[in-house]
A and B are shown apart, each in its own frame.
Chain A
Amino acid sequence: MNFRHVWIVFSKEVKDILRDKKTIITSIVVPMIIIPLLSMIAGGSVQNMQNDIEQNVTIGLTQESNTAHIRELIKSYIIADFPNINLIDIEDPIEAINDSKVRIVLGVEENYKEKLEQGEPFVIEIIYDKSQTKSEGSMHIVSNAINQFNKKVIVQRLEKMGIDDKILKPVEIEQTNIADDEKTSLSMLAMILPIMIVILISAGGTAPATDLVAGEKERNTFEPLLTTKAGRSSLLIGKYLTVTLFSFVSAIASIFGMFLGYIIAPESITMGTGTQLSGFSLPGAAILMILIISVLMGMTFAGIQIALSTYAKSFREAQTYLSFLIIIAMIPGYATILMPPNEMPLYMFIVPILNTISAFKIVLGLNINYTYLTIALASSVVYVIISLKIAVTLFNKEKVLFRS
């Protein structure tokens, strides 16, 4: 291998790709704009939906219950402390829910007043539609309002009897959450970020890897290249470094996009799950290690992508192989998405791709274990060597190189 030749090939390939509008758009512009936009839209709509459910609870009464007394009970007693709940006049309760005129319809026993005075329970029927998210969401809010009313009545009754309402609470529950805001927001990030990194890095190298070998073969630029003084390993390494670079350019563009989205709309980064990402501090050494591990994963992908592109008979065949690679790369991410960082078994730090995901998870989950991180780093180095070895072997095989 001749480093000068590697550099010549690398700089030519980078120049060539930078002039290709298609690649620039798919690997830089799209992730930078689409990813934050999608999470902002998704986050925004989840947030809007939640706000809407909480803020605009509309209720109606069945025809039998639609009397002045009952309206008074609802308005002045049950929903008096709930400005988000509004009582609306309706005719047909079922139709009103179906037409989204109201979310909940209440049916109150006619002789509720007597029962209330006699200290007997009366029934309030809540009619709702479980298939409508807003109706179901409102059911809980209205139930809560009725429960509050229940409590008030109980307190009044006990007071009349001269009994302290404490008697109803033999046990007080106190919750202590050991996760601070930082840990909560990081655990959200530990779920989303590793998968995104794997997908972005594997997807980022796809276009250049396809173009740099299978594309060259198809456009007949490959054979003249093989007749230059530069050896095959130099050609390969030059191309390999280009693919590695563009995997990261695209990943960095996406992360930059996410960051931009976060500045514009902070809730977008956690897709509107309600968790806010506040300032947090991670140990520098751990960050450095996961960065190195992700670079190594990018290099492993680049090796496999170049190998597949070399093996492919045509540009299309290469595209098919490389899209499959992205799907395969996604499996470990999704398989472990809900796995808590403190329960990642040791073998996960050795399996390819999974080792990067696990490393990200334990660091972002603040369960940092440097032995595990070192194992992930060491196994990543081994995978880089293996993938590069496969690529070099295929690139030097006449049968593969001149397959047609």
Chain B
Amino acid sequence: MTLGGCVSKLIRVEHITKQFGAFAAVKELSFEVEKGEIFGLLGENGAGKTTTLRMLATMLRPTKGTAIMAGFDIMKDPEKVRSKIGILFGGETGLYDRLSCEENIAYFGHLNDMSRDKIDDRVKTMAKVFGMEEYIKRRAGKLSKGMKQKVAFARAIIHDPDIMLFDEPTSGLDVSAIRDVHEFIRTCKKDGKTIVFSSHTMSEVEKLCDRIAIINKGELVEKGKIEELKNKYSCDNLEDIFIRLVGVKSEF
């Protein structure tokens, strides 16, 4: 289903809810993301960020509500939605150690129905962009963490998706790797991709995002442009706003 009238809103999340038994991980969450925008999902661990992104990526099926991603409904056209999105997870890069970098990337290209020529072209281009030319033919298991990360970037965008989902992409990374991730997110934006980025690190959200949504215990607490929120709550940093809205984290 293509929604011609909503081209500028590339993502429209409508009352999305996910129930795991009696536990509601996400409750009635709604937000929209404009084309080319970086949208931040800010929340503590366990707030429902990953569950939300997994629903948007059609890995989990919402209990209620839906989302329209690049014109396709996640409930009705999950396959088409997946062809329009790329996703990058935090922590381990999740590459196949015994495949070469090129093969790792191409595998995802093939599974996204790209032709061999197109894949070869894209791999060549990305190898140049990410500086992977030297090791593109080497097996992924033999690379450094930083090199692996670049392969994971390339793999996520091999099919040139309209939407990129980043699930805490910098968790557990060192400073230079974090910089690489931030740089990658900016590149995606420059390429016109629409980005949803989840994090619990205020500074990076503030640095990268155009707009944010703060979620707590699965519910939307606040959303808007960072500057607008700062004015609304008369605070000049996001952390104070977050603490005011979410409260002091009981785990600490």
Distance between A15 CB and nearest chain B CB, rounded to angstroms = 7
Output the nearest chain A residue to B56 by Cβ-Cβ distance. Answer: A227
Distance between A367 CB and nearest chain B CB, rounded to angstroms = 47
Judge whether B96 is part of the interface by a CB distance below 8 angstroms. yes
Instruction: Check B94–A224 contact: CB distance below 8 A.
Output: yes
Instruction: Check A12–B108 contact: CB distance below 8 A.
Output: no
Judge whether A159 is part of the interface by a CB distance below 8 angstroms. no
Contact of B155 among A224, A226, A231, A398 (CB under 8 A): A224
Judge whether B237 is part of the interface by a CB distance below 8 angstroms. no
Output the nearest chain B residue to A222 by Cβ-Cβ distance. Answer: B94
Given contact pairs A8-B107, A398-B61, A402-B60, A220 touches B91 in the complex (Cβ within 8 A) = yes
CA A226 to CA B108, docked complex, whole Å: 10
Instruction: Check B59–A221 contact: CB distance below 8 A.
Output: no
Judge whether B99 is part of the interface by a CB distance below 8 angstroms. yes
Q: Residues of A contacting B61 with CB < 8 Å?
A: 398
Q: Residues of B contacting A226 with CB < 8 Å?
A: 57, 59
A-B contact count (CB 8 A): 69
Q: Residues of B contacting A115 with CB < 8 Å?
A: none
Q: Residues of B contacting A227 with CB < 8 Å?
A: 57-59, 82, 85-87
Judge whether B225 is part of the interface by a CB distance below 8 angstroms. no
Instruction: Check A223–B89 contact: CB distance below 8 A.
Output: yes
Q: Which of A216-242 contact B (CB under 8 A)?
A: 219-231
Instruction: Check A231–B60 contact: CB distance below 8 A.
Output: no
Judge whether A19 is part of the interface by a CB distance below 8 angstroms. yes
CA A19 to CA B98, docked complex, whole Å: 6
Contact of B59 among A16, A220, A223, A399 (CB under 8 A): A223
Q: Chain B 64-101 against A: per-residue CB contact (8 Å), 1 yes, 0 no? A: 00000000000000010011011101011111111100
Instruction: Check A12–B99 contact: CB distance below 8 A.
Output: yes
Distance between A219 CB and nearest chain B CB, rounded to angstroms = 6
Q: Chain A 362-404 against B: per-residue CB contact (8 Å), 1 yes, 0 no? A: 0000000000000000000000000000000000001100100
Judge whether B112 is part of the interface by a CB distance below 8 angstroms. yes
Q: Chain B 32-72 against A: per-residue CB contact (8 Å), 1 yes, 0 no? A: 00000000000000000000000001111100000000000
Judge whether B248 is part of the interface by a CB distance below 8 angstroms. no
Judge whether B113 is part of the interface by a CB distance below 8 angstroms. yes
Q: Residues of A contacting B179 with CB < 8 Å?
A: none
CA A230 to CA B113, docked complex, whole Å: 9
Given contact pairs A220-B89, A398-B61, A228 touches B108 in the complex (Cβ within 8 A) = yes
Number of B interface residues at 8 Å Cβ cutoff, please give it: 33
Instruction: Check A398–B60 contact: CB distance below 8 A.
Output: yes
Given contact pairs A227-B57, A227-B82, A228-B82, A221 touches B111 in the complex (Cβ within 8 A) = no
Main secondary structure of the interface of A (DSSP, over half): helix
Output the nearest chain B residue to A218 by Cβ-Cβ distance. Answer: B92
Q: Residues of B contacting A12 with CB < 8 Å?
A: 96, 99, 103, 107
Judge whether A164 is part of the interface by a CB distance below 8 angstroms. no
Instruction: Check B111–A228 contact: CB distance below 8 A.
Output: yes
Judge whether B110 is part of the interface by a CB distance below 8 angstroms. yes
Judge whether A180 is part of the interface by a CB distance below 8 angstroms. no
Instruction: Check B92–A8 contact: CB distance below 8 A.
Output: no
Q: Residues of B contacting A117 with CB < 8 Å?
A: none
Q: Chain A 183-225 against B: per-residue CB contact (8 Å), 1 yes, 0 no? A: 0000000000000000000000000000000000001111111
Instruction: Check B87–A224 contact: CB distance below 8 A.
Output: yes
Q: Chain A 168-185 against B: per-residue CB contact (8 Å), 1 yes, 0 no? A: 000000000000000000
CA A181 to CA B159, docked complex, whole Å: 66
Q: Residues of A contacting B110 with CB < 8 Å?
A: 8
Instruction: Check B98–A219 contact: CB distance below 8 A.
Output: no
Q: Chain A 36-55 against B: per-residue CB contact (8 Å), 1 yes, 0 no? A: 00000000000000000000
Given contact pairs A228-B112, A229-B113, A219 touches B94 in the complex (Cβ within 8 A) = yes
Instruction: Check B111–A220 contact: CB distance below 8 A.
Output: no
Given contact pairs A20-B98, A228-B112, A231-B79, A219 touches B60 in the complex (Cβ within 8 A) = no
CA A222 to CA B87, docked complex, whole Å: 12
CA A402 to CA B110, docked complex, whole Å: 25
Task: Supply 19 A–B pairs (Cβ within 8 Å), ascending by A.
Answer: A8-B107, A8-B111, A9-B111, A16-B99, A219-B92, A219-B94, A219-B97, A220-B92, A220-B93, A221-B95, A224-B156, A225-B111, A227-B58, A227-B82, A227-B85, A228-B111, A229-B83, A229-B159, A398-B60
Instruction: Beyond the given A227-B86, A229-B113, please list 15 additional residue pairs across the A-B interface where CB-CB is below 8 A.
Output: A8-B110, A12-B96, A12-B103, A12-B107, A221-B95, A223-B87, A224-B89, A224-B152, A226-B59, A227-B59, A227-B85, A227-B87, A228-B111, A229-B83, A229-B159
The 8 A-B residue pairs whose C-beta atoms are closest, nearest first, are A220-B94, A228-B111, A220-B92, A19-B98, A221-B94, A230-B111, A229-B83, A227-B87
